[in-house]
Amino acid sequence: MSVVVQNIRRVERHIVDQIQHFGVATVHEAQGRTGLLAPYMRPIYAGARVAGNDVTVSVAPCDNWMIHVAVEQCREGDILVVAPTSFSDAGYFGDLLATSLMSRGVRGLIIDAGVRDIRDLKDMGFPVWSKCVYAQGAVKETLGSVNVPVVCAGALIHPGDLIVADDDGVCIVPRKKAGDVLQNSIAREEKEAKNRARFKAGELGLDLYKMRERLAERGLKYVDQADDE
Amino acid sequence: MSVVVQNIRRVERHIVDQIQHFGVATVHEAQGRTGLLAPYMRPIYAGARVAGNDVTVSVAPCDNWMIHVAVEQCREGDILVVAPTSFSDAGYFGDLLATSLMSRGVRGLIIDAGVRDIRDLKDMGFPVWSKCVYAQGAVKETLGSVNVPVVCAGALIHPGDLIVADDDGVCIVPRKKAGDVLQNSIAREEKEAKNRARFKAGELGLDLYKMRERLAERGLKYVDQADDE
Amino acid sequence: MSVVVQNIRRVERHIVDQIQHFGVATVHEAQGRTGLLAPYMRPIYAGARVAGNDVTVSVAPCDNWMIHVAVEQCREGDILVVAPTSFSDAGYFGDLLATSLMSRGVRGLIIDAGVRDIRDLKDMGFPVWSKCVYAQGAVKETLGSVNVPVVCAGALIHPGDLIVADDDGVCIVPRKKAGDVLQNSIAREEKEAKNRARFKAGELGLDLYKMRERLAERGLKYVDQADDE
Amino acid sequence: MSVVVQNIRRVERHIVDQIQHFGVATVHEAQGRTGLLAPYMRPIYAGARVAGNDVTVSVAPCDNWMIHVAVEQCREGDILVVAPTSFSDAGYFGDLLATSLMSRGVRGLIIDAGVRDIRDLKDMGFPVWSKCVYAQGAVKETLGSVNVPVVCAGALIHPGDLIVADDDGVCIVPRKKAGDVLQNSIAREEKEAKNRARFKAGELGLDLYKMRERLAERGLKYVDQADDE
Amino acid sequence: MSVVVQNIRRVERHIVDQIQHFGVATVHEAQGRTGLLAPYMRPIYAGARVAGNDVTVSVAPCDNWMIHVAVEQCREGDILVVAPTSFSDAGYFGDLLATSLMSRGVRGLIIDAGVRDIRDLKDMGFPVWSKCVYAQGAVKETLGSVNVPVVCAGALIHPGDLIVADDDGVCIVPRKKAGDVLQNSIAREEKEAKNRARFKAGELGLDLYKMRERLAERGLKYVDQADDE
Amino acid sequence: MSVVVQNIRRVERHIVDQIQHFGVATVHEAQGRTGLLAPYMRPIYAGARVAGNDVTVSVAPCDNWMIHVAVEQCREGDILVVAPTSFSDAGYFGDLLATSLMSRGVRGLIIDAGVRDIRDLKDMGFPVWSKCVYAQGAVKETLGSVNVPVVCAGALIHPGDLIVADDDGVCIVPRKKAGDVLQNSIAREEKEAKNRARFKAGELGLDLYKMRERLAERGLKYVDQADDE
């Protein structure tokens, strides 16, 4: 059955806006090393960093009809997530859909397929993380669903979950955990800032993390290079 | 038999120069969603957009001898297309060949294999779309052919066809269709410009393309999110 | 057995610093077309060019413990080479380890696996060549070795070998051959500079390399395009 | 949190045993073209066809500790589903674990990673669908979970769902839909049997499916080959 | 424009039936090392060897409508070649279409996409060479063409060309060259049979092909293994 | 410099012949989880299991000249290892070379590239582990070396090392460690035989390996499935 779920619950805006300052690596660690999408999901241009509530779209292979349906469900601060029901490289998305999404305040697109018009998207400042870049057009023949759970690039994503994306890729935070993950991210970043200063000053990880004893226990040996090597 | 076909017919210059203003996605749509090379063909640097008549080269695997032969056949406004007769990642092309081609007014290179010296090529402003970047040198032992039909990255390309390439990839337009495709591209772009303005103003694709009725006929349902989701 | 080999011999600094001016393609040719790492090794940002003595690390899959051990073995002018003992995409390296390495004068990282925090690494000016970008964290459970020979991206690398890396990829020069390869690189570059000038002036490779006679002997034919093509 | 969910609900045995007679392609169609795992999931030997209730295991990368935990949760008629939390090629599973599972009546393994001892597994008649074959050993260091929802090869799988697997790959049927999908599979197979007989007798799909009129409406033209082609 | 070209010219049957006895490797060499499809084209079961005139089908991505149209154009001794206009893994073909083709005497299928029902196809003895095995169903919405030139797995194929396929892959012989290629294949096979006997008797390729002198001229050195190696 | 190293030291025959009875997985574990070649190395037919001393060949891309040179260096009980100096899919090896090797008692081929005539090779009982199957012919133009260390499919292999290969892939054992690895393999296999019997009798790995306590310490929880799941 094809369905559009309306009025989904979202993460509170202040959480979204705070977590935007942390990178994908930090958020991934802050929720116990979970939530990453597959490493083939790459940004179409470097330097973008976004966070937002996702609106999910399940589309038939090579068919972008439901993306138009999904646009109407998007609000300011959202990120659109598009997942075909079968593996596909076609280009489901270009500058017109991006213009439509930007007019509604949408912050970016995550698509487990292809995207096109990437020079225009970069000029517009509309970031996209995709499996590939490909101009192959899609058709508008088959229904799909909006705001149902989807598997996108190996990750399970529910509507209203929190998406964080930057040059490292894409991470998904379940809606109900967003507050906790934000707190963990803040705590982790503070700790890392201190460590960063110590590393910068020349301290070694071996000492900072007190690894020497455990390494020796495990049997690590230090030798000098032999003369004939 | 190895052969160099000389004095190939080309697309008229005014058509080439006009079509250069349209992107790959537009031209691909304007000729009925055909002509794209495989999505693994990526530019070595972002931002280039070119159009030109192609000179084709069929080379033996790991052998770039015939590229030197092909240079002599190139004229101002041409784009060189290199296709090995077997899958290969070697680097058949670097800054010296690019210097030679630029001195003849050639606008770029499409190669279904590897390329090297890409920092120099970027500094020179010589754009390349390739399967990969790889410094592995090629030999000069086996003949091939120049200006014969080749299959390059999954597309059939004849000498004198029109190549359009940008950040979205590469599209081939058969020589005799170039005029029509230019007209279709102009028409499509005009229509898209109008739609872009309406999208920017907040109009939805659902309304602009009058999709609501057809979606309902197909059975699309709208529901609110359940309380326990 | 897990071992850390200390006080490895290195290439003399003046050789390292001179070879830094030559690109990967030149050095690869200058040592007889050998030494390239696999083409999937790509820089995380464009434009970096480095040379340095390598410190090698053999790590267990998804385990970055030994990288901390290796940092202590690094000196100014070194490049860290990380090779998992099994294929892996995890992100073994981020901005904290880079900070630590930079404080010791290390010039870059070559890793046959994933890397994260790449926006920070770019801002810091710490170049990395990696198989992929992926934020997936690694554990610290299993020993490995430092400064033993490793296979990294298809190439055999000994500690103290010379690494050259730029936008074309990564090339390894055995320590004892570094002096000769430098001389060959200088000679090659001089020759190419002359050829570059001649290409720029419009001379053809066919004439510059005296290819016409050999091509004719092999049977290359020149014909004009037929009227009905 | 790491958790083992016990006493999961399963599909009724008579449904499982009946659906075993239908192939993956039929079941996939019978539930509306959904449920397929990625095409890289291939059987380690040809000819196996199984259906069963799944027990799911979420494992850390390169760590097979939780598979031992999962064995205890398996019953006769089950199929084990193993999904690493990060992409991995390691060999998490071999003939000892298979022996253990067979002693409990488990019918097969679906693993989004590597498997080893495949000659023994074939001799034992224990079928496996996996991403690859690789002997690389796994460690036992990190907890995971048993019988939680997992994403395996691009599909969302809940504990107690129905797995169907054969030479075409793997299909997942949600537990609550299993009865309906069985009915649809029976109906589809009956219809296909009739069509198969008509095809065998030489009837064309064009006539059987009454396609000629619709093709003509869309504009399909029939021409004879030109004399000069 | 979508078109079905009827009454294509074919290679004479006696040539087809004779060339069937030679493998893909022989035919590929016999026509000057050309004509191979990409190595990702693999048979769904081992041991099949076929030759036949091809009927080509150009299909839209994920759409198998035109395959039904193509069946009607097939005759005894033909091989069907299916090429999507964009990269696709969907399963366009299963046992019903195979039944229909077999009733017309078609000898096999070459498809640059997915195939399903492979156990049934093997039982029926209908060989298929495909990019992958995948049960994902296709739709019937968009026209394509039959018996036009197509690019399939990197090779240009015209209707009525001769296809040879076995466990090594697929090779295409242009229709007009089929007679000559058959003669070359016979000659090559005779020569290889003699060489095979000499190799079996222990003669070395170095002597049989008189390589020793040329190797020495090029500078090949023979040394004994050093004592410390 | 191109060189042929003659009279290499080999592993004693009784060790080779004994280790042949153990699979790749066992030998890989018996030498501390090292020595595996990349998982893309697959046998051309199922069921072969070999062990032998390797003769290594370093070949130029798409050039199989040196394989003929290497044949002369092979003795009974050897396995030929072919590694191109650059990534390549060409078919360097077919039934004639196999006939030549079999006449000398060579047990198989490991090649990090393509192979052809695989139906004949299977009929002859000459096993090959390769990156791919591809009929593309190679040339004989460029020297390489025989019996030098090579990197093959990600593993460093010296001449005279011990190769073990079966359906799980390929494992390399350094010559000097072969005796110890054999002893470890025997011990491991004995232990596994005992465990296999206990698993067969229904004992759980949790109990056999005494895992329950450690799992509880790490915090593993057991719960029953909730009623609303």
Q: How far is E20 from chain B (nearest CA, A)?
A: 24
Q: What is the mean pLDDT of residues C146-156?
A: 96
Q: How far is E135 from chain A (nearest CA, A)?
A: 10
User: Which helix (H) or strand (E) covers residue C122, if one does?
Assistant: helix C118-124
How far, rounded to the nearest angstrom, does the alpha carbon of residue D171 sit from its chain's CA centroid? 4
Q: What is the mean pLDDT of residues B149-174?
A: 97
Q: What is the mean pLDDT of residues E115-130?
A: 98
Is it the case that residue A9 has pLDDT exceeding 70? yes
Give the confidence band of D229 by pLDDT, cuts at 50, 70, 90: low
Please answer yes or no on whether D149 and A155 come within 8 Å at the CB atom.
Answer: no
Q: What is the mean pLDDT of residues A157-173?
A: 98
Is it the case that residue A85 has pLDDT exceeding 90? no
What pLDDT sits at residue A229? 66
Find out whether B177 and F175 touch, Cβ atoms under 8 Å.
Answer: no
Please answer yes or no on whether B86 and F139 come within 8 Å at the CB atom.
Answer: no
- Is A87 touching C (CB cutoff 8 A)? no
What pLDDT sits at residue B55? 98
Find out whether D111 and D25 touch, Cβ atoms under 8 Å.
Answer: no
Q: Which residue of D has its CA nearest to C114?
A: D87
CB nearest to C38's CB, from F34, F87, F155: F87
Higher pLDDT, C227 or E229: C227
User: In D134-224, where do the E strands start and end?
Assistant: 145-146, 150-152, 155-157, 162-166, 169-173, 221-224
Query: How does the average pLDDT of chain D come out, rounded?
Result: 95
Q: What is the mean pLDDT of residues A134-159?
A: 95
Q: How far is E228 from chain A (nearest CA, A)?
A: 11
Please answer yes or no on whether F168 and D116 come within 8 Å at the CB atom.
Answer: yes
Please answer yes or no on whether F61 and B136 come within 8 Å at the CB atom.
Answer: yes
Mutate to test the interface with F, among D63, D64, D65 (most CBs of F within 10 A): D65
Residue type, A132: C
Please answer yes or no on whether E142 and A139 come within 8 Å at the CB atom.
Answer: yes
Q: How far apart are CA E72 and CA D206, in angstroms?
A: 8
What pLDDT sits at residue B154? 94
Give the confidence band of A144 by pLDDT, cuts at 50, 70, 90: very high
Give the confidence band of D1 by pLDDT, cuts at 50, 70, 90: confident
Q: How many percent of chain C have pLDDT more than 90?
A: 91
B25 contacts in A (CB within 8 Å)? 91, 94, 116-117, 135, 137
Q: Which residue of B has its CA nearest to E85?
A: B34
Is it the case that residue C85 has pLDDT exceeding 90? no
Q: How far is B88 from chain F (nearest CA, A)?
A: 7
H/E/C letters for each residue in chain B?
CCEEEECCCCCCHHHHHHHCCCCHHHHHHHCCCCCECCCCCEECCCCCCEEEEEEEEEECCCECHHHHHHHCCCCCCEEEEEEECCCCCCECCCHHHHHHHHHCCCCCEEEEEEECCHHHHHHHCCCEEEEEECCCCCECCCCCEECCCEEECCEEECCCCEEEEECCEEEEECHHHHHHHHHHHHHHHHHHHHHHHHHHCCCCHHHHCCCHHHHHHHCCEEEECCCCC
Please answer yes or no on whether A133 and B39 come within 8 Å at the CB atom.
Answer: yes
- Is F195 touching C (CB cutoff 8 A)? no
Please answer yes or no on whether C87 and F39 come within 8 Å at the CB atom.
Answer: yes
Q: How many percent of chain C have pLDDT more than 70?
A: 99
Q: Which residue of C has its CA nearest to A212?
A: C69
A209 contacts in C (CB within 8 Å)? 68
For residue F126, what are the contacts with CB-CB under 8 A and spacing of at least 6? F98, F101, F102, F108, F109
DSSP code string of chain F:
--EEEES-----HHHHHHHTTS-HHHHHHHTTS--BPPTT-EESSTT--EEEEEEEEEE-TTB-HHHHHHHTT--TTEEEEEEESS----B---HHHHHHHHHTT--EEEEEEEE--HHHHHHHT--EEEEEE-----B--S--EESS-EEETTEEE-TT-EEEEETTEEEEE-GGGHHHHHHHHHHHHHHHHHHHHHHHTT--HHHHTT-HHHHHHHT-EEEEPPTT-
Other C-beta atoms closer than 10 Å to the C-beta of B178 total: 25
Q: How far apart are CA A155 and CA D106, in angstroms?
A: 27
Q: What is the mean pLDDT of residues C192-197?
A: 97
Give the confidence band of D66 by pLDDT, cuts at 50, 70, 90: very high
- Of D40, F38, F150, D92, nearest to C87 by C-alpha is F38
Is it the case that residue B1 has pLDDT exceeding 90? no
Please answer yes or no on whether A90 and E142 come within 8 Å at the CB atom.
Answer: no
Chains that touch D (3 or more CB pairs under 8 A): A, C, E, F
DSSP designation for C36: B
Find out whether B107 and B138 touch, Cβ atoms under 8 Å.
Answer: no
- Is B210 touching A (CB cutoff 8 A)? no
Pairing of β C145-146 and β C50-59: antiparallel
Is it the case that residue E229 has pLDDT exceeding 70? no
Q: Which residue of A has its CA nearest to E228?
A: A228
Query: How does the average pLDDT of chain C come out, rounded?
Result: 95
Q: In chain E, positions 20-39, which contact chain D (CB-CB < 8 Å)?
A: none
Beta bridge partners of F63: F139
- Of C103, C112, C40, nearest to C76 by C-alpha is C103
Rounded to whole angstroms, what are the CA distances from C156 to C42, C159, D45?
18, 10, 35
Chains that touch C (3 or more CB pairs under 8 A): A, B, D, F
C117 contacts in A (CB within 8 Å)? 23, 25, 168
For residue E176, what are the contacts with CB-CB under 8 A and spacing of at least 6? none
Q: How far is D84 from chain C (nearest CA, A)?
A: 12
CB nearest to C118's CB, from A168, A196, A202: A168
Q: What is the mean pLDDT of residues B116-126?
A: 97
E/C Cβ contact: 3+ pairs below 8 Å: no
- Of A95, E56, E155, E2, nearest to B32 by C-alpha is E2
Is it the case that residue D117 has pLDDT exceeding 80? yes
B/D Cβ contact: 3+ pairs below 8 Å: no
Q: Per-residue pLDDT tens for A179-193?
A: 999 999 999 999 999
Q: Per-residue pLDDT tens for F28-57?
A: 999 999 999 999 999 999 999 999 999 999
Is it the case that residue F229 has pLDDT exceeding 70? no
Chains that touch F (3 or more CB pairs under 8 A): B, C, D, E
Is it the case that residue D167 has pLDDT exceeding 80? yes
Q: How far is C32 from chain A (nearest CA, A)?
A: 23
Is it the case that residue C228 has pLDDT exceeding 80? no
Please answer yes or no on whether F136 and B61 come within 8 Å at the CB atom.
Answer: yes
Mutate to test the interface with D, among C86, C132, C143 (most CBs of D within 10 A): C86
What pLDDT sits at residue E227? 77
What pLDDT sits at residue C226? 86
Q: How far apart are CA E66 and CA A185, in angstroms?
A: 54
Burial of B180 (0-12, 13-18, 19+ CB in 10 A): middle
Q: How far apart are CA C144 and CA C142, in angstroms?
A: 7
- Is A153 touching C (CB cutoff 8 A)? no
C/B Cβ contact: 3+ pairs below 8 Å: yes
Q: How far apart are CA F64 and CA F57, in angstroms?
A: 10
D112 contacts in C (CB within 8 Å)? none
Q: What is the mean pLDDT of residues F83-112?
A: 94
Q: How far apart are CA B132 and CA B140, in angstroms?
A: 21
What is the pTM (predicted TM-score) of this model? 0.94
Q: Which residue of B has its CA nearest to C192?
A: B96
ipTM of the complex: 0.95
Q: What is the mean pLDDT of residues F97-119?
A: 98
Is it the case that residue C229 has pLDDT exceeding 80? no
F/A Cβ contact: 3+ pairs below 8 Å: no
Q: How far apart are CA F8 and CA F10, in angstroms?
A: 6
Ramachandran angles phi, psi of F130, nearest 5°: -140, 170
What b/e string do you get for B37-76 counting C-beta neighbours within 10 Å, with b at 16 or more? bbbbbbbbbbebbbbbbbbbbbbbbbbbbbbbbbbbbbee
A62 contacts in E (CB within 8 Å)? 61-62, 86, 88
What pLDDT sits at residue A20? 93
Q: Where do the H-state alpha helices sit in A103-177?
A: 118-124
Q: How far is B112 from chain E (nearest CA, A)?
A: 11
What pLDDT sits at residue B229? 66
Mutate to test the interface with B, among A62, A100, A143, A146 (most CBs of B within 10 A): A100
- Is D143 touching C (CB cutoff 8 A)? no
DSSP designation for C162: E
Count the alpha carbons within 13 Å of C121 in the hemisphere toward its beta carbon. Answer: 30
Q: How far apart are CA B148 and CA B140, in angstroms?
A: 20
What pLDDT sits at residue A61? 86
